Copies of this chain bind each other. A is one copy, B any other.
C-alpha cells in the first residue's frame, strides 16, 4: 500500500464497529492481506471478523505494543472523525509508532506531517508520515473534458454519507474485471486512496478545484479502460457535503450512475441537534440525480446498491425486492449478493453506447 507492501496495524480505539470505523473496515474488506492487527482496547481478544464482519482471523489487540508482536511496520488511522482533527489521545499512539520506526498513514483534514514534533520524530527514525488527504498541488479548472470519452464512466451516488458508495464501486470493479473488461477504479476519498494506491481526497481540496481534479483523475483512468468506476462522495441532498457531490458529478460527467442507499435509514445524518432532513423516496433520489447530472450532460441511474447491513436474511431479501419494484431497476446488496445484476445493466449500456458510436 502506498509505495511498498506493508504490515499494517489499524488504529480504531473505542470505535471498531462497521458504523464508526469506516476506513478500517474498508481496508480490511479490500486489502486484508496487509493488515496484521487492529488496535481497540475495548474489543481486544476478538477477531476483526467477529467485530465488523470482514478480515477473518486478524486479531483485535489492546495496544500498539501488542500490535508490534505481529510485526506491524505501519500504523494506519482507521477512523475519520467528523471535522478531520486528530483526537488528542491518538497523538500519543502516533508518536509511539514513529518512535518504533513505523510509517504512519493518515486521512485526516489535519495533516500530521505539518506537525513539527511528529515530522521531526519521523525524520529522526527514518520513517514516513503519509497524509493521503493532502490536496494535489495542481489546481485544474474543470471544463467538461470528460463528457465525450470512449470509456464509459460510472459514478456511485448516494442518499447520504456512509451508505456504500465506495464498496459498491469496488465490488463492481471486481465483478466487471472478471468479465474480461478493462476496468479502472477512481478513488475520491481517504479510504479509497488506501485501497487503490492513488486518487484524491476531494473533500480537502479548495472548492474551486474539486471538479477539475476529478476531471483529471477520470481522464487519466479512461486512457486504457472500457469502464471507469468513480467512487462517489456524500450526497447532493446532504446539507454539508452537497457541494462536493455536485463537483464530483459535474467533474466526472458520468454516462451512468448507481444509486446507493442504506435500507432502513430514514434521515440524513448530520452534525448536531438541527432537524435532520428526511431521505427522499428512491424514485425522487433517482430523479434529482439525473436532473443535476443533466444540467451538464444526460446521465441515467442504471441500478441500485442497497446496504442491508442491519437487516436479517429475510428482511434483506424483501428490502432488495421492494426497491426493485419501486424503481424498476436492478437492485442488489453488493456485500451480501454480489453485483451481478447491476454489472449486467452497465455492460448492456456500454454495448449500446458502442453500437451508437459505430453507427454514427
Interface residues of A, Cβ cutoff 8 Å to B: 82-85, 109, 135, 139, 141-145, 147, 202-208, 210-212, 236-237, 239-248, 250-251, 270-272, 274-275, 277, 288, 291-292, 295-296
Contacts and interface: CB of A to CB of B under 8 A. Distances in A.
A144 B242 contact: no
A144 B244 CA distance: 16
A236 B206 contact: no
> Considering the complex of A and B, which 7 residue pairs feature the smallest CB-CB distances, nearest first?
A243-B247, A203-B208, A243-B243, A142-B240, A143-B274, A143-B271, A143-B270
Nearest to A274: B143
Given A239-B296, A250-B243, A295-B242, A208 B109 contact: yes
Contacts of A211: 239-243
18 contacts: A141-B271, A142-B240, A143-B270, A143-B271, A144-B277, A145-B274, A147-B274, A204-B206, A204-B207, A204-B208, A205-B207, A206-B206, A236-B246, A239-B251, A242-B247, A243-B243, A243-B245, A243-B247
A288 B294 CA distance: 11
Nearest to A277: B296
A138 to B, nearest CB: 10
Nearest to A206: B204
